[in-house]
Amino acid sequence: MSLTSKTIGVFDSGFGGLTVLHALLAAHNPVSRYAFIGDSARLPYGSKSRRTIARYAVESARYLVEQQNAGFLVIACNTASALALDAIEQSVSVPVLGVITPGAAAAHAATKTGDVLVIATDATVQSHAYATACSALGLRALEKACPLLVPLVEEGWTDHPVTSEVINIYLAELLAQAATLGMKPDTLLLGCTHYPLIRPLIEKAVPAGIRVIDSAEATAAAVAARFQNRKSTDPTELRFFATDSVEKFERLGSRFLGQPTGPVTLVDLDG
């Protein structure tokens, strides 16, 4: 299969995965066509069960492959990567990459002590997908759910004292727990695609000696490596789809993508 003639399909439950698309556009890929779907009618996935998340994610994955001719899928959603990657792989015939494995690999490359902290949504943490992936690489990972960070980002409080205060509270709890376990963490992995937007606040909040890394960037780097960092010279073609309010997607999506999305097409997956 010639991937350069294909589309990379990118899936998220909402807008957060646009930070992964942003990183993909900045990386060296031979693919110039991207189709992004946000299942915004059913977001957030972070508080839902594995069964429900898998059913929803498979519908979006199939849409990208069957309707948008995607030859490669990036699951730009930590919750779906943690809970539904197997179900997605079984439902489509193209390669599928989630954000967990690249995130864990980046943590492995970054850490010297082998002790890694992970912050993510409730469902991602409950799945222990990062701890499992880190453990497979010989790392110890301590995970913490931070359910208020996504709403704070979506409220637009990405440079707000309340957000810094919430980050401080979550990190203090996480560091205290790490200390009781005798861990010496030197790496904090951002395990949610919303978090890159508050990365500057998180960088300020972590103690000296802890490096912040990000699954969105790590995933884009993994895709680029898979394509041997060859860069397409064709003009980039972006197509956006959402299962709910395209107006909201167009309005909020630009914050995550770092550029205007342009027109978004409404898709009905369960109608």
Residue 33, SS3 per DSSP: strand
> Any catalytic annotation for residue 134?
no
For residue 205, which phi and psi values (nearest 5 degrees)? -85, -25
- Note whether 239 binds a copy of itself by CB under 8 A: no
16-24, 36-44, 67-75, 188-196 -> range binding a copy of itself (CB under 8 A): 36-44
- First CA to last CA distance, the chain: 33
45-53, 173-181, 190-198, 204-212 -> range binding a copy of itself (CB under 8 A): 45-53
Of residues 136 and 162, the one with the C-beta less far from a copy of itself: 162
- Note whether 162 binds a copy of itself by CB under 8 A: yes
* Residues contacting a copy of itself: total by CB under 8 A: 27
Of residues 40 and 101, the one with the C-beta less far from a copy of itself: 40
Let me know: does 221 contact 102? Beta carbons within 8 Å: yes
Closest listed residue to residue 186, CA positions, set 121, 103, 107, 101: 107
**Tokens representing 233?**
């010279």
- Note whether 263 binds a copy of itself by CB under 8 A: no
Of all helices (H) and strands (E), which one includes residue 57?
helix 50-62
The residue within the footprint of a copy of itself, chosen from 74, 152, 202, 216 (CB under 8 A), is 152
Q: What angle do CA 195, 169, 161 make, to 5 degrees?
A: 70
Closest listed residue to residue 99, CA positions, set 213, 202, 182, 3: 213
The residue within the footprint of a copy of itself, chosen from 244, 251, 255, 258 (CB under 8 A), is 244
Q: What is the contact surface with a copy of itself in residues (CB under 8 A)?
A: 40-43, 47-49, 52, 55, 147-148, 150-152, 154-155, 157, 162, 165-166, 169, 243-245, 248, 270-271
